[in-house]
Amino acid sequence: MQLTETPAEKLFRDEIREFVAARLPPDIRDDVLAFKHLGRDHYVRWQLILAERGWGAPGWPTAYGGPGWTVMQRAIFDDECYRGGAPRQIPFGLSMIGPVLMKFGTPEQRAHYLPRIIRLQDWWCQGYSEPGAGSDLASLKTTARRDGDHYVINGQKTWTTLAQFADWMFCLVRTQSEGKPQEGISFVLIDMRSPGVRIRPIRTLDLGAEINEVFLDDVRIPVANLVGTENGGWTIAKFLLGHERTNIAGIGMCRRLSASLKDYARQQTKHGRPLIEDVRFRDRMVKLEIDLLSHEWSLMRLVSLEQAGRPIGAEASMLKIRGSEIQQDLGELLMETAGPYALPFVADALNTGFEGATAAGVRLNSLASLYLDLRKVSIYGGTNEVQKNIIAKSVLGL
Ligand SMILES: Cc1cc2nc3c(=O)[nH]c(=O)nc-3n(C[C@H](O)[C@H](O)[C@H](O)COP(=O)(O)OP(=O)(O)OC[C@H]3O[C@@H](n4cnc5c(N)ncnc54)[C@H](O)[C@@H]3O)c2cc1C
């Protein structure tokens, strides 16, 4: 088990750190580190900079335009991008539909879509969840009926992250209603500009509008947009959900929150002294720092096992649970650095380019919203309760 970086990995880390410091546009970095709501342009600009350097698809093999990095190099890359204040790379293309097309797509689908993902020419969104199908995904009801060379799709998807920016949606649809629910699902690609696609934003607790409902009314797609076989979508759906393993730990976000916490605690004061010198506050910070350190070591342990060829199983569920708990704890303490100023937050100040005033100042204004936004991390990617079920079943044999 390798728990420290080799000299070559240290050099690699330096290279990424220098690149991010030199090439990440300062306006993007400032908005990211102020926890603002980012626009499509923030993500696309940074993605193009990475793509030009050959790092647009860090997890992909060289055959498809990736750098062919080891698992450890990918972890270092993610870490340095987070540390330097870069926007996250949008996962829907790179970590979800990209690997799906590599494994299940036709040569035509791969040749068309994969290069466009690297340059974020196509923004993808994920059409899995429905109002009646979340944890129990196989109960989904959106239908696709074959009509000549087309499928006609009807139904509703929900919680669709950043659908408002999306050009394409990969989508689970029901192509057969008899038999086991899992056996009648197909995996299709929908052009979001097709007639019959309607998007309605869902306003979240933090007053953001990152997630949406997507209504599909008689949407026609060519049969060529089917991935894999008709009724064979469940295997693909599971492959996609299980594909991205290391990011699930949320280490990059934890580190960013931890760095911000220290920064805010140095600047905020209590009884005329920096908050960071308050013994009780420090105790809580130190406890979280220890939690984070042990979480990082767990990830390193698993990354090193994966690098040695052992696939990660239910440990990914453990990383998901722990990572989301730590992010939420850090977010809560971070909000407390603002004290009463966390309360009257102004939603508009979270948008980039805001030039007005807020009671707390723009800097503190985003902390309550961040706290509220972080409620989501124990829900998406499989809720923490469902992750606990997986551990109970496959590790404890219950
Ligand atoms: C911010 C955000 C972004 C999202 N983005 C997307 C997206 O882009 N695309 C997409 O398709 N989906 C997305 N989702 C949906 C997400 O995958 C679902 O919310 C998640 O799978 C849970 O489903 P649900 O919300 O229907 O809750 P339900 O499945 O109805 O669960 C409700 C509660 O019951 C618990 N529960 C359910 N089943 C069990 C069980 N067997 N044992 C114990 N407890 C159980 C859950 O843990 C939860 O607490 C997003 C969700 C959020 C919050």
Question: Which residue has the CA at smallest separation from atom 43 of ligand 1?
Answer: 385
- Structural tokens at position 181: 């629910």
Measured in Å, residue 381 CA sits from the centre of ligand 1 at 8
Query: pTM value?
Result: 0.92
The predicted structure's pLDDT at residue 346: 78
The predicted structure's pLDDT at residue 344: 74
Measured in Å, residue 256 CA sits from the centre of ligand 1 at 25
Residues having CB within 6 Å of any atom of ligand 1: 125-129, 134-135, 159-161, 211, 376, 379-380, 383, 385-386, 389
The predicted structure's pLDDT at residue 98: 96
Measured in Å, residue 158 CA sits from the centre of ligand 1 at 10
* Ligand 1 nearest-atom number relative to CA 381: 17
The predicted structure's pLDDT at residue 245: 52
Q: What is the dihedral of CA 6, 51, 83, 31, to 10 degrees?
A: 180
Rounded CA gap, 335 and 373, in Å?
12
Rounded CA gap, 353 and 172, in Å?
37
Q: Which of 244, 289, 325, 332 is catalytic?
A: 244
Low-confidence ranges of the chain (pLDDT < 50): none
Measured in Å, residue 324 CA sits from the centre of ligand 1 at 14
DSSP H helices, the chain, are: 7-23, 26-33, 40-53, 71-83, 91, 98-104, 107-118, 233-243, 251-267, 279-307, 315-336, 362-373, 384-394
Burial of 343 from C-beta contacts in 10 A (0-12 / 13-18 / 19+): exposed
Top mutation candidate among 142, 380, 393, 398 for ligand 1, by most atoms within 8 Å of CB: 380
pLDDT of 218-260, one tens digit each?
999 999 999 999 999 999 998 888 765 556 788 888 988 999 9
Rounded CA gap, 128 and 84, in Å?
32
- Contact 123/165 with Cβ under 8 angstroms? yes
The predicted structure's pLDDT at residue 265: 94
244 is catalytic: yes
Question: Which residue has the CA at smallest separation from atom 44 of ligand 1?
Answer: 385
CA distances from 28 to 50, 147, 244, 341 (A): 14, 46, 26, 25
Question: How many other CB atoms are there within 10 angstroms of residue 388's CB atom?
Answer: 13
